[in-house]
Amino acid sequence: MAVFKFAVGLLALLLVSAWAEEVEVRQFHSITHATCLLLHRFMTDEIVEDTNAELSVSELLERANRDRTPDFDEPELMGDIAINSPDERNADPCTSRGCMWGKYNDGKVYVPYVIANHYSSRELSIIQRGLDSFSSMSCIRFKRRSNERDYLSIESRNGCYSYVGRTGNAQTVSLSRSGCLYHNTVQHELLHALGFNHEQTRNDRDNYIRVVWENIITDMKHNFNKINTLNQGTSYDYNSVMQYHKYAFSKNNRPTMVPIPNSNVEIGKATQMSQNDVNRLNRLYKCLDCLGMGCPPKTHSVFFLSEQKLAGIDQDNSQAA
């Protein structure tokens, strides 16, 4: 009897052990499967970026360009705007030349580009997403360069930067692999290349923000110089992807910009182009037949320009937006 009880107990112990091993194997398989699935999503670009939701576009740019050591062939920067000489710090680099990209007979604006081959497939997908976002809400079409003379050369140089508007020949748009590959930073730099300046440099900005000069790092004050911008009939936009955050270039952790009249309004928190950004883009390039959110119904003429008025705007190629 004792032998029988021992045998039954041993059998029960073996069954429990086998069941536990099976559960452990299933759990291990489940964990391994989840890990492989996550890895697969990264490898196939289903997961394309760390959104860094806590950082605004200007914080990302400021961080990426901090302590930047440029190569000998790289331009001087005004924030993240590339300039050819210090003289351009006090003026819109577009004012003395035509800086817009030309429109074709089909009403589209084709901007040729090349992308350097040092990006991974994951990084390329972030850049491509930014390029493609313009076609859904404007007449801008970024296209792979064939033999065009003027084009954007997207490269991972030292920091995030772009020239303002069309400069002629190859012009660098730097999207460094170290800190620049986010959807909002890609859109931000491409808007520069299309002719747009920072929101806080608008000629009417003093009606909407108060610049606190004493809080700004001395050699960064040029980032707050006003420019004779066109504004395209739109109001100041605290949520523009071109608006810097309120502590930008602060030397003492105090605000460098304060919204007025309500100082509690958040500024510079955009994660992508705002509606105003899209409207300005469409007005600057006269995108009369575009589709998507950038082309509002004609009935909203109180806020949006009608096609007739839009067509009548003098498209002055000597100034940026």
Q: Which residues are catalytic?
A: 189
Structural contact between residues 173 and 189, judged by C-beta atoms closer than 8 angstroms: yes
Pairing of strands 151-155, 109-115: parallel
Q: What is the C-alpha separation between 69 and 304, in angstroms, rounded?
A: 44
192 is in an annotated binding site: yes
Tracing tokens 């360069």 back to the chain, one arrives at 145
Q: How far apart are the first and last CA of the chain?
A: 96
Residue type, 203: N
Q: What is the C-alpha separation between 20 and 265, in angstroms, rounded?
A: 58
Structural contact between residues 161 and 75, judged by C-beta atoms closer than 8 angstroms: yes
Q: Which pair of tokens denotes residue 193?
A: 């290349």
Q: Which pair of tokens denotes residue 83?
A: 């300039």
DSSP 30-60: HHHHHHHHHHHHHHTTSS-----TTS-HHHH
Structural contact between residues 210 and 260, judged by C-beta atoms closer than 8 angstroms: yes
Angle at 316 between CA 267 and CA 222, to 5 degrees: 40
Please report, in range form, the residues annotated as the binding site for Zn(2+).
188, 192, 198
Please report, in range form, the residues annotated as the binding site.
188, 192, 198
